[in-house]
Copies of this chain bind each other. A is one copy, B any other.
């Protein structure tokens, strides 16, 4: 089966907005016109528009239509979006990426690890450190812990490529959602050892806990980003106090 109709419409509208064919702050063709243009149902058009709204490309305005609110983002930064593997993000940002596994070992969660990560005390974990390079420059230090029982059989070779690919396509496990915190932290000895920090004395840290389709946490990750390659984007809607 190819792409669904709705995806085709979504991608086509997204492309036209990115190409400025539908300009910033202009109103899109009406639902009726889009239904005709794409020869599809009202529901399909609405689903495509809803997804564009979620990404911050458009905003629906009662009684007026759907307005374009997309502006080209600064392409120089490494923009972080949903839950993606580093490989996927690099590809989306059109950067050449390489990964070096600097540590691959196993640990058992003690009280300290348990408190920090959310894994139960006594959980057997893979503990991995990887340096991510973009266009040859070491700009992210990823520290991952995976529950061995839920993600069995990890190897250094897999960590070298994509662990998410292994989880989804070899283990057949669903990666459902991730809770993330972004903070700015002081540079650690490991950061200094592996990253090109210049004279920055702190960096951007994204800490994530990832849950599988059963709602069980299988991963705790800290990604430590050199500031100049870090940009996180987000769209928020207002909830009145």
Could you tell me which A residues sit within 8 Å of B by CB distance? 24-25, 56, 58-62, 64, 67, 69, 71, 73, 77, 81-85, 88, 118, 168, 174-186, 199-204, 211, 213-217, 225, 227, 230-241
With A200-B201, A201-B201, A213-B61 given, is the CB distance from A180 to B235 under 8 Å? yes
Contact partners of A56 in chain B: CB under 8 A: 177, 179
Instruction: Decide if B184 touches A237 in the complex (CB within 8 Å).
Output: no
Instruction: Decide if B236 touches A82 in the complex (CB within 8 Å).
Output: yes
Instruction: Decide if B184 touches A202 in the complex (CB within 8 Å).
Output: yes
With A59-B215, A184-B184, A217-B69 given, is the CB distance from A237 to B82 under 8 Å? yes
With A67-B215, A215-B69 given, is the CB distance from A177 to B238 under 8 Å? yes
Contact partners of A88 in chain B: CB under 8 A: 241
> Contact check: which of B58, B174, B201, B236 meets A83 at CB < 8 Å?
B236
Contact partners of A213 in chain B: CB under 8 A: 61-62
- Closest residue of chain B to A60 (Cβ to Cβ) is B215
Other A-B pairs, 11, CB within 8 Å; known A25-B217, A71-B118, A202-B227: A69-B177, A73-B181, A82-B239, A177-B235, A178-B235, A178-B238, A179-B234, A180-B233, A185-B227, A186-B200, A200-B202
